[in-house]
Copies of this chain bind each other. A is one copy, B any other.
Amino acid sequence: MEIHVIEKAEKISNYDLQGSQLVAIDVLRATSTMVTAFKNGALKIIPVMKTQQAFNIKKSNSQVILGGERGGVKISGFHLGNSPAEYTPENVYGKTIVMTTTNGTRLIQNSLAAESIYIGCLLNAKAVAEKLNKTRVFLACAGTRGYFSPEDFMAAGAIAWHLIQSKNVALNEKAKRAVEFFKGVKNRAEFLKLFPHGNLLIQRGFEKDISYCCQLDTIPVVPRYYCGSLYV
């Protein structure tokens, strides 16, 4: 099994994804929130790029709830923002959620050539690793507005590290760096708070989300993208 880490969404087009398994990673906060929503009983998540698409789906199906953010803040008229703390069983159990986020949704759109797309983060790193069994595996980091994000790279490292433990794998150069980084940084949340993205979340009042999203292997749920939607 070859493990390729792609460090941001904009680089995905450099790779031939045909026949591969791809893990879409956006730790702060899209994929951590998706995994939490499914753990708490969500039935289905429909990821969309534009706010207007979400409102259009709501018009034709009034049962859906709308979730997402722009610049880290809940979109006006939406039920939920992008904080995993909002995706409680009370809010999401049995529900279909239409979700739009700045980086996470674009990441999935860029990955559609892969044979299968899974949703990964630190919370479900071990469970994701257990799903991977193809010859070519891509761990695709979202990044933040076109820039590299250390939190996504760390989660890619966590998944690759789990794979090393259990399977015969070959890591590309970036995957080696990601594993080193994951193993090297012990206090993930405190470290990430130093970076611009972590700082922005603190300013917006979401410091607790950073600690939450930095937990490792706490949720054994692996959402999968299929025909436009995510399911478990």
Contact = CB atoms under 8 A, between A and B. Distances in A.
A102 to B, nearest CB: 17
Contact of A191 (B147, B177, B195, B196): B177
Q: Which residue of A7, A181, A184, A194 has the most chain B CB atoms within 10 A of its CB atom?
A: A194
B184 A7 contact: no
A148 B184 contact: no
B184 A153 contact: no
A186 B157 CA distance: 14
Interface residues of A, number: 22
A7 B190 contact: no
B181 A148 contact: no
Contact of A180 (B7, B180, B185): B185
B181 A185 contact: yes
Contacts of A153: 194
B180 A186 contact: yes
Contact of A148 (B148, B186, B196): B196
Contacts of A190: 173, 177
Interface in A164-222: 173-174, 176-177, 180-181, 183-187, 190-191, 194-196, 199
A168 to B, nearest CB: 23
Given A148-B195, A153-B194, A180 B187 contact: yes
Interface of A: 7, 147-148, 150, 153, 173-174, 176-177, 180-181, 183-187, 190-191, 194-196, 199
Given A148-B199, A181-B184, 5 more contacts: A147-B196, A177-B185, A177-B187, A177-B191, A180-B184
Which 3 residue pairs are nearest across A and B when measured between Cβ atoms? A184-B184, A148-B194, A147-B196
